[in-house]
Amino acid sequence: MVAMSYAAASFAREGAPMPIIKVELLAGRSYEQKRSLAAALTDVAVDSLGVARSSVQVHLQEMSAENVAIGGTLVAETAPRQ
């Protein structure tokens, strides 16, 4: 899940609200994958919204498979075990 919001009291130098992009994902991605995702989302926000790169925040929230259910079944019960 990806959600984007604007901090009401925070503004970039241009006077535009600071975008905050929140991503919920299952745990297990590498540091490099998370770095790449944060950079790509920042690029999209800068290009789409015309805000300064330094004003974009990306928050990654990792969830364990035992805390997520799809169709009433915990992901931990359906994911291949390593």
The domain that holds 10 is classified in CATH as: 3.30.429.10
**Segment (H or E) for 68:** none
How sure is the predictor about 80, in pLDDT bands with cuts at 50, 70 and 90?
confident
Q: Are 65 and 78 in contact (CB under 8 A)?
A: no
pLDDT in tens, 2-56: 665 555 444 544 566 789 999 999 999 999 999 999 999 999 999 999 999 999 9
Is 19 noted as a catalytic residue in this protein?
Answer: yes
Q: Side chain identity at 36, as an amino acid letter?
A: S
Distance between CA atoms of residues 71 and 73, nearest Å? 6
Query: Strand locations in the chain, DSSP E?
Result: 2-11, 17-26, 57-63, 69-70, 73-74
Distance between CA atoms of residues 34 and 26, nearest Å? 12
Catalytic-role residue among 4, 13, 19, 63: 19
pLDDT at 62: 97
Residue 64 has pLDDT above 60, yes or no: yes
pTM of structure: 0.74
Distance between CA atoms of residues 78 and 62, nearest Å? 18
Q: How many domains does the chain have?
A: 1
pLDDT at 12: 45
Domain boundaries, position 46: 2-78
